[in-house]
Amino acid sequence: MAEKVLMKGNEAIAEAAIRAGCLHYFGYPITPQTELAAYMAKRMPKIGGVFLQAESEIAAINMVYGVAGTGKRVMTSSSSPGVSLKQEGISYIAGADLPALIVNVQRGGPGLGSIQPSQSDYFQATKGGGHGDYHLIVLTPSSVQEMADLTALAFDLADKYRMPAMLLADGTMGQMMEPVSLPEPSCHTVDKPWAVTGTKMQRPHNIINSLYLQPEELEQTNLARYERYKEVEANETRWEEYLMDDAEIAVVAFGIAARVSRNAVNAARKEGIKAGLIRPITIWPFPKAPIAAAADKVKAFISVELSMGQMIEDVKLASECKKPVSLVSRCGGIIPSPDQVLDAIRKSAGGNE
């Protein structure tokens, strides 16, 4: 393991991306992800990389599309309102089967919202966001270490499955500092025979495209893409379980909400309540299996979110509503307190006694 350093989450993403061989970054200023762009602006010129502050988020994501077409690793980052603007480009990137990384350090919404942490882009990230049938691989770090580790993983998965990946963080994760051990530089290259790099007059031309005027052709393309999505669901679903072995109350939370929930679970255990935590690390693909398994064992689920309740729908679907699912939520940029979660655990535990 490399020596631990103290870094802000936003900076950890930037450094990890560079170490993963990403030498192209395009962005547009927005709080609370500014440190990421600032880090790239400082580092890229020194290592022969490209940092470009685009004229808009729309331009930035389309620059990403251009680089992704050449097969090189590329990323952009923004926060909620900016990520809304990027949705057009994200849909095109998905439709052209290109790998790329989009980082969303979420803030409260809708509209201009607030600049404080939020998880209210869950639907946008997991259920489309842009138009058409597609998915992103969505990774949700809950520590600065994971900000780095999941960034590297996101590039690898995006390349492997030829699809865009999103790192869905929040303002807390971006702004906080924790000791982090940065991954060694390693760019896992995969063959990209589809890339546009010039034919060199040695092969037929490659076309990066998402337009299929023949409906049958588009349908076949989408079906093939969804076959790949099935592979992703089978191979790349990630989650962490904490004290779930004998749990009677399952708290489900990701990112900062999972950190808060872990405190609450510990506090509940001290009171003799058998609480546990399922922390999705990917929210697409969503960890349906551990929730389905828990549904046969626990009394109740609690979904803890920094939103009006978005992931709760996936928890209900995965558990097939076999057990009650309640919501602990704060929104607008406010983080639920461990006590708020603990109260909900007590209620769920007591309710069936």
Partner 1 sequence: MVVFQKPHSLTDAPLHYCPGCTHGIIHRLVAEAIDSLGIEGETIGVAPVGCAVMAYNYFACDMVEAAHGRAPAVATGLKRALPDNIIFSYQGDGDLASIGMAETVHAATRNENITVIFVNNAIYGMTGGQMAPTSLPGQVTQTSPYGRDVATAGYPIRVCEMLSQLDGPEYIARVAVNNVKNVKQAGKAILKGFRNQIDKKGFSLIEVVSSCPTNWGMTPDKALQWVEEKMIPYYPLGVYKDRSAKEAE
Partner 2 sequence: MTTELLIAGFGGQGVLFAGKCIAYKGLFEGRELSWLPSYGPEMRGGTANCSVILSDEPVGSPIVSEPDVLIAMNLPSLDKYEGAVKPGGTILVDSTLIERKVERTDVRVCYLPATKLAADMGAPTLANMVMMGQFIKVSDAIKMDGLEDAMKKVISAKHADLLELNVKAIQLGYGYEA
Per CB under 8 A, residues contacting partner 2 are 4-6, 31-32, 115-116, 171-172, 175-179, 256, 259-260, 262-263, 266, 335, 337-338
Q: Which does 262 bind (CB under 5 to 8 A by kind): partner 2, partner 1, none?
A: partner 2
Coil/strand/helix, residue 310 = coil
Q: Quick check: 186 binds partner 1 (CB under 8 A)? A: no
Q: Which of 274, 272, 271, 276 is nearest to 244 (CA)?
A: 276
Coil/strand/helix, residue 170 = strand
Distance in angstroms (rounded) separating the CA atoms of residues 27 and 103: 10
Q: In the beta sheet, which residues pair with residue 178?
A: 7
Hey, what are 15's tokens?
A: 């450094």
Nearest approach in angstroms of CB 195 to partner 1 is 8
Distance in angstroms (rounded) separating the CA atoms of residues 185 and 15: 10
Distance in angstroms (rounded) separating the CA atoms of residues 155 and 168: 14
**Is the Cβ–Cβ distance between 144 and 178 less than 8 Å?**
yes
Query: Whose Cβ is closer to partner 1: residue 42's or residue 131's?
Result: 131
Distance in angstroms (rounded) separating the CA atoms of residues 324 and 301: 6
Contact residues for 237 (Cβ-Cβ < 8 A; gap 6+): 282, 285, 286, 287, 288, 289
Q: Quick check: 187 binds partner 1 (CB under 8 A)? A: no
Q: Which does 171 bind (CB under 5 to 8 A by kind): partner 2, partner 1, none?
A: partner 2
**Binding segment for partner 1 among 34-42, 59-67, 266-274, 310-318 (CB under 8 A)?**
59-67
Identify residue 293 by its one-letter amino acid code: A
Residues 242, 247, 251, 257, CA torsion sign:
negative
Question: Residues 71-100 vs partner 1: string with x where CB under 8 A?
Answer: -x-x-------------xx--x---x----
Distance in angstroms (rounded) separating the CA atoms of residues 279 and 258: 6
Q: Which does 323 bind (CB under 5 to 8 A by kind): partner 1, partner 2, none?
A: none
Distance in angstroms (rounded) separating the CA atoms of residues 305 and 319: 17
Query: Whose Cβ is closer to partner 1: residue 64's or residue 253's?
Result: 64
Rule CB under 8 A: which of 25-54 touch partner 1? Answer: 26, 50, 52, 54
**Is the Cβ–Cβ distance between 171 and 115 less than 8 Å?**
yes
Position among 191, 201, 214, 296 found at the interface with partner 1 (CB under 8 A): 201
Nearest approach in angstroms of CB 310 to partner 1 is 27
Nearest approach in angstroms of CB 211 to partner 1 is 6
Q: Quick check: 220 binds partner 1 (CB under 8 A)? A: no
Burial class (CB in 10 A: 0-12, 13-18, 19+), 32: buried
Query: Whose Cβ is closer to partner 1: residue 62's or residue 84's?
Result: 62
Q: Which of 85, 118, 83, 84 is nearest to 102 (CA)?
A: 83
Q: Which does 116 bind (CB under 5 to 8 A by kind): partner 2, partner 1, none?
A: partner 2
Query: Whose Cβ is closer to partner 1: residue 54's or residue 327's?
Result: 54
Position among 58, 85, 115, 292 found at the interface with partner 1 (CB under 8 A): 58
Query: Whose Cβ is closer to partner 2: residue 5's or residue 59's?
Result: 5
Query: Whose Cβ is closer to partner 1: residue 59's or residue 292's?
Result: 59
Position among 62, 80, 140, 175 found at the interface with partner 1 (CB under 8 A): 62
Position among 181, 186, 189, 209 found at the interface with partner 1 (CB under 8 A): 209
Which residues contribute to the site for partner 1 (CB under 8 A)? 24, 26, 50, 52, 54-56, 58-60, 62-70, 72, 74, 88-89, 92, 96, 196-202, 205-211
